[in-house]
Structure 1
Amino acid sequence: MPVQRPAAATPDVVCFDPQDTKGTSAPAVAATPAVDKVGVLLLNLGGPERLSDVKPFLYNLFADPDIIRLPQTVKFLQPLLATIISTLRAPKSAEGYKAIGGGSPLRKITDEQAEALAAALRAKGQAADVYVGMRYWHPYTEEALEDIKRDGVTRLVILPLYPQFSISTSGSSLRLLESLFRSDAALKSLRHTVIPSWYQRRGYVCAMVDLMVQELAKFRDRENVEIFFSAHGVPKSYVEEAGDPYKEEMEECVRLIMEELRARGHANSYTLAYQSRVGPAEWLKPYTDESIRQLGARGVKSMLAVPISFVSEHIETLEEIDMEYRELAEESGIRNWGRVPALNTNDAFIGDLADAVLEALPYVGCLAGPTDSLVPMGDLEMLLQAYDRERRTLPSPVEFWEWGWTKSAETWNGRIAMIAIIVILLLEGVSGQSILKNLIWAE
């Protein structure tokens, strides 16, 4: 039985001249230039390759205003906060990376995905160079764009390696790209299109189900196995106040996967939960750790974990799911545990990405909508303008200040105190005098 996808309307295509950002309606796409060189830019998060990379990687992460959003009046504190948070979190994060071999495998896997995608495109008759641009570590997006300019790419398909769109993942990478395109004359004239999300593609859905069926076969009581989808979380306010489509796309993605799984004869029950929350703000629920405890309390004995928002193995699959959540499951009474591997360079998955690129090429330089995605495919600036019109300003996960005994006040009192202590310790290190001791024992 085929996967039931939402009915896609015929795309309304608006094409544009790179020098004319308003765009003009057109019944067909713009003509391909005489000298045509196709490029594909894969976007991903990045990860520290050595333990010594952990702290600077975390600094880059927390210095991103789409990760920690401060009010305009105190944005100058972002580098300081990023320094403090990365310094405090680095030791624990380093322990996690040490547990999976001393660094993230994400760059290696993403490079392999790029090579496999280029080969799949060649096999389908389309020559293309595939580039990797990481948001927070090497090779940075800026490095990838320099390679794209050097190679003379004339048509570029931008493909975030996140199946579902979110402000904090794809959105952050696309906003960085938009800024870089605006500030570089060579990039301003580069014809391009973005595939913002692709969770609903049949090839992706079937590749996921193929792996799930393989893992289910390893259980003796496969019909009683709880399918446990664990997705990366985002702050609840991003969805409810800013219109982030992530939750809706995630739920639709899980629905499509379960429809295909059931069509293959597996009627297992399932749970969708969210992992990797940070800070005091409320994130999307249910949380992964709480859901595992609840399932154990209900008597679930067999569980198959499915990392649904990740297409590459990295710390959140190898350490957080495989170690932390597996241990929690066993403590909660779950005796039989399995985990679906990330897609990595799965042939069906890579082949479907190649098809997605080929389908996007006719829309280079255009905004295509409506489609079966909640975020339209198209040029960076036009895409983000269209998306921004549909949502309000992204709120900060923590309100900057409220007087009284409130969560906000407690949070910021703690942060101010932490900053003060760090400043004092730095001064002590420079001066060689015990300033903190003098303050405590001053008469």
Structure 2
Amino acid sequence: MGGPSTLPEVGDFLKNLFMDRDIIQLPFQSVLGPLIAKRRTPDIQEKYGQIGGGSPILKWTRKQGDMMCAVLDKICPESAPHKAYVGFRYANPLTEITLEQMEKDNLERAIAFTQYPHYSCTTTGSSMNAIYKYYAERNITTKLNWSVIDRWGTHPLLVDAFVHLIEKELESIDPEIRDQVIILFSAHSLPLRTVNRGDPYPAEVGATVQLIMSKLNHANPYRLVWQSKVGPLPWLEPATDKAIESYIKSGKKHFILVPIAFTSDHIETLHELDIEYGEDLAKKLGVETYRRLPALNDHPIFIEALADLVSNHLKKGPRVTGQLLSRCPMCVNETCGKCKNWFSTMCK
């Protein structure tokens, strides 16, 4: 999705978000979307102010891409040089601007590499739709040779990166209470309406969690919980904050929060997990141990995972998976169908 790098960008970021029907469906959206964005802007600006005046997601995404390409140039010299482009949905650099630049740069091949390890129609799906709509709405025939990496939540090196960070965090905790620590894997929630249409996101996040805990020999109790709900409709539960509250009532006071579906720091980690839950809620409830696992950011195993994913994709494919080309069983999004047809043609 991206994030506003400065406070003045918050309004446009929210407007773009609330206008995207792939993630939020509102009646009279062209009118209500901007109104809701305008109303929420001051509160969101205040939150970004508390984490330094903007989101670091662009900094981290660019750094991750550059580090990945440096590795790729060494292990895949036959396709070098490699260059990473960042295309966000709601903040600069917007996907449309990035695609325009890519077309100007006379590239031979492009890989749409989602930075969401777990596929959802609201995230990766929306980003793929944005690529399709860029060409369809402008009636542009691209010369780029496209392929797609659409999900990678079970990649062994991604799992290893999380395992390494969790083991390191557990080692820093007093051995007397270490086995009492509950590991809460916190992922961005999703409206149940989307889940009920067949969105694979909850299952894919759960698969990552299971692989991690298997490597940790299930040494600690753990749960998958959900954060960042927006609006009054039902979303995936249990909510992260409500889970902590419930555990406290049952006498559990030691927690490690793992941002499992986020690959870099941004407002959901730096404000929601660190400030709203780690400072405000934890102090209010009397939590004795609250640790938030560092985001993957530039962790060397994570960078190796990114490079390995692209390297294997270039050498072995597939250019596009059948899973990406398959619509959810209850899909009602016409753009989604057109997008998948476009990618099936472009990725032959």
The equivalent residue for 1:172 is: 126
SS of the equivalent of 1:310 reads coil
Deviation at 1:367, TM superposition (A): 3.7
Residue pair 2:161, 2:299 contacting (<8 A) in 1 also:
yes
Deviation at 1:362, TM superposition (A): 4.5
The equivalent residue for 2:261 is: 309
Bigger relative contact order, structure 1 or 2, given CA contacts below 8 A and separation 6+? Answer: 1
* Residue in structure 1 matching 2:66, options 91, 108, 115: 115
Is structure 2 residue 196 aligned with structure 1 residue 256? no
Supply the AA of the counterpart residue of 2:331.
R
Residue pair 2:96, 2:130 contacting (<8 A) in 1 also:
no
Unpaired runs of 5+ residues, structure 1, are 1-44, 370-374, 377-382, 396-443
Query: 2-side partners of 1:177 and 1:286: how far apart?
Result: 33
TM-score by length of 1: 0.71
Q: 1:93 and 1:191, CA in 2 relative to 1: closer, same or farther beyond 3 A?
A: same
Is structure 2 residue 247 aligned with structure 1 residue 295? yes
Is structure 2 residue 221 aligned with structure 1 residue 269? yes
Query: 2-side partners of 1:183 and 1:217: how far apart?
Result: 54
The equivalent residue for 1:342 is: 295
The equivalent residue for 1:181 is: 135
Supply the AA of the counterpart residue of 2:215.
E
Deviates further, 193-202 or 125-134 = 125-134
* Residue in structure 2 matching 1:393, options 324, 327, 332: 332
Deviates further, 331-340 or 129-138 = 331-340
* Residue in structure 2 matching 1:245, options 177, 181, 200: 200
Is structure 2 residue 37 aligned with structure 1 residue 86? yes
Residue pair 1:156, 1:364 contacting (<8 A) in 2 also:
no
SS of the equivalent of 2:257 reads strand
Query: 2-side partners of 1:331 and 1:298: how far apart?
Result: 16
Supply the AA of the counterpart residue of 1:117.
M
Deviation at 1:365, TM superposition (A): 8.3
Supply the AA of the counterpart residue of 1:312.
S
Query: 2-side partners of 1:98 and 1:192: how far apart?
Result: 39
Query: 1-side partners of 2:284 and 2:275: how far apart?
Result: 12
SS of the equivalent of 1:102 reads coil
Query: 1-side partners of 2:281 and 2:202: how far apart?
Result: 25
Query: 2-side partners of 1:365 and 1:215: how far apart?
Result: 37
* Residue in structure 2 matching 1:215, options 140, 157, 169: 169
Deviation at 1:187, TM superposition (A): 4.9
Q: 1:132 and 1:109, CA in 2 relative to 1: closer, same or farther beyond 3 A?
A: same
Deviates further, 128-137 or 331-340 = 331-340
The equivalent residue for 1:147 is: 101
Residue pair 1:182, 1:188 contacting (<8 A) in 2 also:
no
Query: 2-side partners of 1:187 and 1:246: how far apart?
Result: 32
Q: 1:48 and 1:319, CA in 2 relative to 1: closer, same or farther beyond 3 A?
A: same
* Residue in structure 2 matching 1:360, options 313, 317, 333: 313
SS of the equivalent of 2:186 reads strand
SS of the equivalent of 1:164 reads coil
Residue pair 2:71, 2:307 contacting (<8 A) in 1 also:
yes
Deviation at 1:125, TM superposition (A): 2.7
Aligned positions, number: 328
Deviation at 1:153, TM superposition (A): 1.5
Residue pair 1:149, 1:187 contacting (<8 A) in 2 also:
no
Residue pair 1:299, 1:333 contacting (<8 A) in 2 also:
no
* Residue in structure 2 matching 1:236, options 189, 192, 203: 192
The 5 A counterparts of 1:194-213 are 194-213=148-167
Larger radius of gyration: 1
SS of the equivalent of 1:229 reads strand
Query: 1-side partners of 2:44 and 2:265: how far apart?
Result: 16
Residue pair 2:182, 2:256 contacting (<8 A) in 1 also:
yes
SS of the equivalent of 1:167 reads coil
* Residue in structure 2 matching 1:227, options 180, 183, 189: 183
Deviation at 1:333, TM superposition (A): 2.8
The equivalent residue for 1:125 is: 76
TM-score by length of 2: 0.89
Query: 2-side partners of 1:238 and 1:368: how far apart?
Result: 21
Query: 2-side partners of 1:111 and 1:210: how far apart?
Result: 23
Which string of whole-angstrom CA distances, capped at 9 and with x for unpartnered residues, describes residues 390-438 of structure 1?
443269xxxxxxxxxxxxxxxxxxxxxxxxxxxxxxxxxxxxxxxxxxx
The equivalent residue for 2:115 is: 161
Residue pair 2:148, 2:319 contacting (<8 A) in 1 also:
no
